[in-house]
Amino acid sequence: METSCQSPMLHSPWAMPSCSLTQQPEVSGLGALLITNLLSAIMSSQQQLVGSDLYPKDTNAFAEKYDFIVVGSGSAGAVVANRLSEISDWNVLLLEAGGDPPISSEIPPIFHSLQETDVDWQYVTEPQEFGCQGMVEHRCNWPRGKVLGGSSILNAMLWVRGNRRDYDNWAEAGNKGWSYEEVLPYFKKTEDFKYHEADTPGAETYSEEYHGRGGYQLLEQFKYRSPIVDGLIDAAQELGYTIRDVNGEKQTGFTLQHGTIVNGTRMSTAKAFLTPIKDRKNLNVAKFAHVTKILIDPNTKTAYGVEFRKNNETFVALAQKEVILSAGTVNSPQLLMLSGIGPKEHLEELGIPVIQDLEVGKNLQDHMQVVGPAFMFNRSRSYSLDNKKVLDDTYEYLVHRTGPLASIDILQFQGFISTKYAHLDVPGSKLEETEDLDYPDVQYQHIKFPLNDNEGTKRVSHVTRFTDEIYDAVFGIPNSKSEIYIPLTVLQRPKSSGFIKLRSTDPFEAPIIDPRYLSDPRDVQTLVEGVKVAISVGQTKTMVDRFETQLNTLKIPGCESEEFGSDDYWSCAVRKVATTIYHHVGTCKMGPRSDPDSVVDSTLKVHGVRGLRVIDGSIMPAVVTGNTHAPIVMIGERGADFIKDDWLK
């Protein structure tokens, strides 16, 4: 029987394909058998897992006018739609290009199985000159959520706010109201933070001063972790790092991160912000509604509606107050440019009438992660896939929502450290002050695979676009010898930036995405220093004695001429295996009109255009220190209040 199922996903031996739950693929082999059993179990428990009417109903009948039209239901858009529809007199239309999240998105460790499916925009970058050198065609994948909840359906559910200095820097750049002390109440407003003193080392540092309760976004720690997580915690302490709440007073150190999860299932913004209000009479949600243009009066420069396609028909929706773009770092600038707001020269090249000349699409920033080097561990007692174990874990999850399937395992263990370059980001500081600055420039995450997990490692390699030669060196050969764990060294303040441009005037054609990864040598230098620290963690006495860790010294193809372990070697390796960690921001930069690169002002209104705001991650002047989902939810909360301030006063 033919299906549209995708290959098993990364990070987990409990992987399943992404396909319709009414279909069951024909499979063979032990790994495939486990996948089939898990898929069958989930099919039989579909009703109990999420219910049949979890999300707002799809609307096909449209009013003549709405007060507000929100484009995109992702990490910010769902928040904006919720908060605006709190005002019963306001009629809100939320337009989403995708549909409801699939059931497989509920299960934490299989989130990557959704990449390259119909809930993913399936973007890829342009061929890169300096980065992505180990990828097919030198292009990196750029997954983005095309679904209710947006990329909060595809992400790893980690809740990281960023650093105090990030927001203070925004404010100092002329963005009034965006300092850390001013955005902290919005983080707290959105949160329903749960913790127990026995959860992790550092639990005693959680403080009501920094965490909110009673908000829509439920946050918990993952209820399962393998022994290697505790080993990594002890290894970090052996090296002198503090185990702390990195969303609290200070960020430098290591932590077991809270996530957007409740009762072992994903708590996306669709579930957190739309499910509780799905029956609000003044909220209208149109799914599979692809917005193609913002309607703007060229004489008054006032946005008055949108044009969109749904069910193979073209519709027009009119906004009496505002149009809000929450379509994300790729789609928001694409829509602005298609509608005549963007760089004048670029729009004229495509024959698009220019309404407002702004640097839309510039300032594109992203965090890059170095995948590797791998550590082999438990070499004398390696765990491999076991049919009974996986079936037991499946049963435990479906009945109790506990066990490995309720967790992202070692990916929940994170760290933030400062390299010798971190002080350069704080004017007037010196190298010896680096640690005291509490402004880390490298983040760590971790993944692991059981012995001979060919399905899991090949899925990682596939969605990362690694060539076969790179796959063998990073995953295949070491994993054939033992279990492996891989530190992911993540650059926090990239000096390289890129751009997004229109490929054509066709709104259904993906735009040009060129992040210009690693075009600034400082990025490579910082990642090299970060990789050295990652290696030192794996080589601590704690890790060697407890898990028999051994560094994989097989050289990355293309770097054979360099001495393994030297700075020149790691510089070469970084350019080969560093890839996106999906934190794309900045393409509709927030800033005062005096900033020639800015697109929106500090209240997120598009410069020079009435009735139009952008409220999503694209407004970030600079990417934050950490995962971007929590800050984008905060931006949604902040933006909604700006709108209320304008219209209710």
Q: What positions carry a catalytic annotation?
A: 583
φ, ψ for residue 85 (rounded to 5)? -75, -5
**Contact predicate 244/202, CB 8 Å:** yes
Residue type, 142: W
Reading the block at residue 617, the tokens are 């991650």
CB burial class (10 A; 0-12, 13-18, 19+) of residue 375?
buried
Q: What residues pair up with 449 in beta bridges, in sequence order? A: 484
**Contact predicate 84/93, CB 8 Å:** no
Cα separation, 70 vs 78, in Å, equals 9
Q: How many helices (H) and strands (E) does the chain have?
A: 18, 26
Cα separation, 469 vs 474, in Å, equals 9
CB burial class (10 A; 0-12, 13-18, 19+) of residue 122?
middle
Lookup result for tokens 């899991």? 456
DSSP, collapsed to helix, strand or coil, labels residue 137 as helix
**CA-based Rg of the chain, rounded to a whole angstrom?**
24
**Contact predicate 4/22, CB 8 Å:** no
- C-alpha closest to that of 600 among 300, 352, 358: 358
Q: Residue 192 CA to chain centroid, in angstroms?
A: 20
**Contact predicate 60/310, CB 8 Å:** yes
**Contact predicate 576/134, CB 8 Å:** yes
List of residues 6+ apart from 553 with CB closer than 8 A: 373, 564, 565
Cα separation, 411 vs 156, in Å, equals 8
List of residues 6+ apart from 438 with CB closer than 8 A: 163, 164, 250, 251, 252
Residue 31 host element (H or E): helix 30-44
Residue type, 87: I
**Contact predicate 287/99, CB 8 Å:** yes
Report the sign of the C-alpha dihedral through residues 410, 122, 30, 36, in that order: positive
Which residue blocks in 401-520 are alpha helix, DSSP H? 434-437, 454-464, 468-471, 477-479
Cα separation, 52 vs 275, in Å, equals 12
Cα separation, 49 vs 51, in Å, equals 6
Q: Residue 378 CA to chain centroid, in angstroms?
A: 31
Residue 648 host element (H or E): helix 629-648
Q: What residues pair up with 90 in beta bridges, in sequence order? A: none
Cα separation, 167 vs 161, in Å, equals 10
- C-alpha closest to that of 470 among 552, 557, 555, 554: 557
Q: What is the dihedral of CA 253, 463, 367, 147, to 10 degrees?
A: -100
